[in-house]
Structure 1
Amino acid sequence: MKALLTFVLVASLAVAAGLAIEGVDGYVVFVVPPWRAQLSLTLFASLVVATVLVLYALLRLGSSLIALPRSLRNRREAWRLRRATHTLSQLVRAHVLGDVVRVHRLADRLSRYPDLSEAGAALATVTALDRGDESRAENWLARLQRWPDVRAVLEAEFGARCARPERLHAAMERLAELRGLPEATALRLRLEAAKREERWQEVLESARRLRALEAMDASETAALIRQAHLDDASSRLSLGVDLAAWWKRLPKEERYDPAFLVSLARLALDRGQGTQLRPILENALSKCWLPELVRLYPYCVEPGARQEALVRLEAWRLAHPEEPAVLEALVELCLELQLWGKAQDYLSQLRRVGADPAVLERFGSRLRAGTADRDGATLSAPRGVLE
């Protein structure tokens, strides 16, 4: 449309110019003694216009010829850039699809393009680290010369994944000197280093900060925090420190983590210090109902507090009448207290709610053994005692 409008405009101007000079009778005389030349004004104007056009065309041609080498160079660079961009896109695709052989082949091809060679080397390094290929990772890391921050991060990844603590520490020192590194990246690498060396307090601090930044998967963060707390609890159990006071100081979302509570209870029971868990379990079960904790509750009660614990379990049964875990705990506690009648009643209720047959068989065996011992003791008692 633009070309058509330009053509119409030029044609209109040409017609207007022709009509304007059609009635002009003037002439132009050039005198160079002894010569004299006379031209009509129309011819002179046409020659001037033609001369201007020819000069313009010659100037354009000359400038084009002068700029031709640069133009060809730019076109060649544009073609190379398109090829490099296509190679990079194929490299990213191969990396996502997990085509390791193609990743390394494309990264090697991309090394011919200086502007994008670092990107190819970085992706190839990540792929090699994911596959545990140390030699290839080393080779690609050596090519990362112009991206010191990326190289330091990948060096730290290499040290963490390949169990090279000296490389990890050296990379962490370089990262501490770098400016502009994202906080989440530095925290993640610090967490990897601390986890590798089992410095769980540092793991805890880094994981909490990453959770606040929403820079790590929530389940992974929770697992790390849980592991750090369990390590701390293990140390406290070894030292005989009050576990309940420590547990109450934990943040609420970490204190009532179901997986953490179950693991903590099992840890204390394995260490033979289940009685320290009783106030923790009672507090936790008042806030969040966890059947697995209820099953472990009888094993955390000291002998002198079993009657009190039985009353608490019966209150829980009223609140959760169809919960097998409460009935299992009641049967266990009644067997410990040698309340055979109550144990029989709760075992019958447990059968009605459809408990695990193996659990029913185990409780039934213990109940039969207990009642048999009681009957045997009664039959063997002296006559005076029976009277």
Structure 2
Amino acid sequence: AQGATLAGIRAFFEGRYAKAEKAASNAMRLGESPGLNAIVAARSAHEMRGYSKRDGYIAEAENRAPDDSDIRLMAQAELLLEDRRAEDALRVLEQLQNKHTAALRLELKARQQTKNWDEVIALITQLDKRKVFDESQLEQLKRQAYSENLKQKAVDTATLNACWQKIPGRDRKDDKIAAAAAQCFMLLGDNTTAHQIIEQSLESQWDSELVALYASCLGNDVVRQIDRAERWLKSHESDAALLLTLGKLCAHQELWGKAQSYLEASLALAPSHSAHLALAQLQERLGQSDESRKHYQKSVDLVLNQLRNVTGGRRKSAL
């Protein structure tokens, strides 16, 4: 029987699931480690989409090895999560006497699937204290959890602001989290808070994608925003996104000459659809029809080139 148990485990990790199920089932009938072998058989059946057989093995593990409840519950929760049955997985995990690290990891996955972002954040914090994640994993998890939670709480400015204030100061300055928050406040019409969030984040950590958002959240004092952006320009003079933002802000204030200079400078550094479009719209307002048409066309050409790059230049043939 011991040989059958080892053969089943080995076959499972080799990916030979039919052999693993057969060996584990034989070992279980011989009474050798029935809890362990039932789980090996269940996982093997699961890999072969034998879901009813899988559930039968899980039930057998519970009946024949009640003292091995942790291994059964952990395996059952993991299999349920693979089936995207997060609520069922959570009910199984609740039966564990002690939530060790592996169980908390499974609960984290379940909370992510159910989009319970408050619980996700709490679990990330708990697991981080156990030094579970490397820096990159932690950053990615936090960004997703905080950003999704902000979107979920964007029902009114008070609820959104309460959610934003709960985020630790260091994480509020993260460019991706700040961008998510700013966009949420903008959707609720609170552009002043949005551009303040962007300013605080950029002062801490420069990000060209975030500065591009700055032109979209016009506050009550756009002149002050222009002044702030021009101060940034002193240390980021070659940032095409910042120059584009300045061009848009100046155009909003009808500072036509400055707007055109900034937009042309942005295009000189990095031609973009947005900059060509902004310059075309500006020149159209100034009556520069010929130049406006050229930039509209360049804007369209850049978009078409990007689409061709995405599709590899393929075009659907007419049928």
TM range (shorter): 0.7 to 0.9
Could you give the per-residue CA deviations for residues 309-368 of structure 1, whole angstroms, max 9, x where no partner exists?
Answer: 111111111111111111110111111111111112112211221232x22321221111
In terms of mean alpha carbon deviation, does 314-323 or 188-197 score higher?
A: 188-197
On the 8 A contact 2:5/2:27 being kept in 1, the answer is no
Give the counterpart of 1:134 among 47, 51, 73: 51
2:304 maps to which residue?
none
Corresponding residue for residue 237 of structure 1: 154
Cα deviation 1:68-113 (Å, max 9, x = unaligned): xxxxxxxxxxxx54x336514522432xxx4433433333344345
Distance in 2 separating the partners of 1:169 and 1:275: 41
Is 1:325 the counterpart of 2:237? The answer is: no
- In 1, the alpha carbon distance for the partners of 2:125 and 2:16 equals 35
**What's 1:297 paired with?**
214
Is 1:185 the counterpart of 2:102? The answer is yes
Aligned residue for 1:64?
none
Conserved in 2, the CA contact under 8 Å of 1:128 and 1:136? Answer: yes
| Alpha carbons 2:185, 2:194 under 8 Å: kept | yes
Paired residues of 1:268 and 1:274 also in contact (CA < 8 A): yes
Q: Mark the CA change 1:330 to 1:133 in structure 2 (over 3 Å): closer, same or farther.
A: farther
Q: CA deviation at 1:131?
A: 6.8
Q: 1:229 to 1:135 in 2, by over 3 A?
A: same
Which of the residues 237, 260, 278 maps onto 1:344? 260
Root mean square deviation, CA, Å = 3.1
Q: 2:168 is matched by which residue type in structure 1?
A: P
Match of 2:282 in 1: 367
The answer on 1:171 being equivalent to 2:92 is: yes
Give me the whole-angstrom Cα distance separating, in 2, the residues matched to 1:300 and 1:324: 19
CA distance in 2, matches of 1:112, 1:189: 30
Aligned equivalent of 1:273, options 177, 180, 190: 190
- 2:76 maps to a residue whose letter is E
Are 1:121 and 1:140, in contact at CA under 8 Å, matched by a contact in 2?
A: yes
Which residue matches 1:152? Answer: 73
State how far apart, in whole Å, the 1-side matches of 2:137 and 2:54 are. Answer: 26
Verify the 8 A CA contact 2:124 2:142 in the aligned structure 1: yes
Match of 2:228 in 1: 312
Mapped to 1, the partners of 2:162 and 2:88 lie a distance apart of 40
Match of 1:354 in 2: 270
Stretches of structure 2 lacking an aligned partner (at least 5 in a row): 290-319
Match of 2:121 in 1: 204
Identity of aligned residues (%): 25
Aligned with residue 114 of structure 1, among 19, 26, 31: 31
Aligned letter for 1:162? D
Contact 2:28 2:34 in 1 (8 A): yes
Matched residue type, 1:305: D
- State the match for 2:7 in structure 1: 87
Q: Is the 8 A contact 2:17 2:47 kept in 1?
A: no
Query: Unpaired segments of 5 or more residues in structure 1?
Result: 1-79, 375-387
Q: Which amino acid aligns with 2:287?
A: A
Name the residue aligned to 1:43. Answer: none
Number of the residue aligned with 1:21: none
Query: Given the two structures, how large is their TM-score scaled by the length of structure 2?
Result: 0.76
Number of matched pairs: 285
Residues 1:289 and 1:344: Cα distance change in structure 2 (over 3 Å): same
TM-score by length of 1: 0.64
Paired with 2:275 and 2:18, the residues of 1 have a C-alpha distance of 57
The answer to whether the 8 A contact 2:58-2:72 is kept is yes
Structure with higher RCO (Cα < 8 A, 6+ apart):
2
1:287 alignment partner AA: S
Q: Distance in 1 between matches of 2:191 and 2:49?
A: 42
What one-letter code is carried by the residue in structure 2 that aligns with 1:107? A
1:241 Cα deviation (Å)? 1.6
Any idea what the Cα deviations from partners look like across 1:239-282, whole Å, max 9, x if unmatched? 22286675455224422333222333333334443332111111
How many Å separate the matches in 2 of 1:208 and 1:254?
A: 13
- Determine the C-alpha separation between the residues in 2 that align with 1:217 and 1:254: 16
- CA displacement 1:130-158 (0-9 Å, x = unmatched): 67653232122123132211112223334
CA distance in 2, matches of 1:110, 1:186: 27
SS in 2 for 1:372: coil
